[in-house]
Amino acid sequence: MLFGLIPKKQRRRIMSKGFKSILVLDLNQSLRSKGFWIYSILFGGFVAFMFVSGITETQIIGFVGLGRLMVTFMQVCMVIIPIYVLITVVRSIVGDKESNVMEYMLSLPVSLSNFYWGKFIAKFIVIYIPLFVSLFAAVIWGTITSLDIPWDMFALYSFLLAAMVFCFLGIGMFISVYARSQEMAVSSAFVLWLLLVAFIDLLLMGMMLKFRMNPSLVIGLGMLNPLQVFRVGVLVLFDPKLTVMGPAAYFVLDTVSRGVFIVFSVVYPALLGFLFGWLGNRRFNRKDII
């Protein structure tokens, strides 16, 4: 059978079958790894622990009930998710190269883009679903125990988490395609994460004071940092003058409206993730695979 003689429409279907096959394969691979179950139990367990510890009955600076639980959950996510996603994902492509998985898998009729995006989406599902389920479980438990459900927060946080996971997934895949070894990939991920954490407030404020930088420039830099965007996005539904937000966040929310920032906090990290994902795929298609 000459593949070239198959009508374009059918060819596209066959190509997307390769994508689905890799997606399912990678999902199955992930579901068999202990890391996935530890991660899922960690986040599910954390929500359960917060209910048991009575966090919904406490109040700190305006956060109360399920809203308080969700904000705490998101703060934990902000600390853990970016580095977890990076460390997990940066080893993906380069790890497959080192372990001969790539040599074999790419001897099969799957296009390089289907292989790359199949893995990408599988990792997104595996990382995002446990987070969403934990958040949704909190809503269900809140409904059962007659707590007020902050649906606006639930919706925003669901999208924010998806955008954040997508963002760091794209960056992680990009690093993984470029890295020559798993050690190099993990080291790069750590350095990047440290830089992003440092640039949330500490370095930005230091630069502003030391170099007398224009606050607009500092805000611009702050807005480029997906961690900063995530952090402000988590708290944006509350009073923007809250001191817990930090100085850079204060400037950001003082400059742009809340509505604009909500859209920005979801769209920007997602676009950033897609851009890095696309660049990674481009490189993957143009260089030696193994």
Partner 1 sequence: MTEIKKNTPVIRAIKLSKSFGKVEVLKQLSVDFNEGDRIALVGQNGAGKTTLIRCILGQYIFDGQLKVLDKDPRQQRVDILKEVGFVPQIPPPLKITVKELLRFFSDLSNVPEEEYVDIAEKLGLQIKDSYNKPFVALSGGMKQKLLVAFALGKKPTVLLMDEPSANLDPAAREIFFDYLGKYNKEALLVLSSHRMTEIEGLVNRVVEMDFGQIVLDKILYPVENMNV
End-to-end CA distance of the chain: 29
**Smallest gap from residue 109 Cβ to partner 1 (A):** 4
Q: Where are the beta strands (DSSP E) in 8-105?
A: 59-60, 63-64
Contacts of residue 85, defined as CB under 8 A and 6 or more positions apart, other chains included, come to 127, 165, 168, 169, 172
Q: Using CA atoms, how far apart are residues 89 and 193, in angstroms rounded to an integer?
A: 13
**Smallest gap from residue 34 Cβ to partner 1 (A):** 10
How far is CA 177 from its chain centroid? Answer: 18
**What DSSP string describes 30-42?**
HHTSHHHHHHHHH
Q: Are strands 63-64 and 59-60 parallel, antiparallel or unpaired?
A: antiparallel
DSSP designation for 5: G
How far is CA 232 from its chain centroid? Answer: 15
- Name which of 48 and 106 has its Cβ closer to partner 1: 106
**Footprint of partner 1 on this chain (CB under 8 A)?**
1-4, 15, 17-18, 20-21, 24-25, 28-29, 32-33, 99-101, 103-112, 286-290
**Smallest gap from residue 113 Cβ to partner 1 (A):** 10
- Name which of 97 and 231 has its Cβ closer to partner 1: 97
**Smallest gap from residue 75 Cβ to partner 1 (A):** 33
- Name which of 2 and 38 has its Cβ closer to partner 1: 2
- Name which of 104 and 211 has its Cβ closer to partner 1: 104
Q: In this structure, what token pair is assigned to residue 158?
A: 């669901």
Torsion angle in degrees (nearest 10) through CA of 60, 156, 266, 205: -10
- Residue 196's beta-bridge partner residues? none
Pinpoint the alpha helices (H) of 106-150.
112-144
**Smallest gap from residue 19 Cβ to partner 1 (A):** 11
- Name which of 11 and 258 has its Cβ closer to partner 1: 11
**Smallest gap from residue 2 Cβ to partner 1 (A):** 6
- Name which of 34 and 241 has its Cβ closer to partner 1: 34
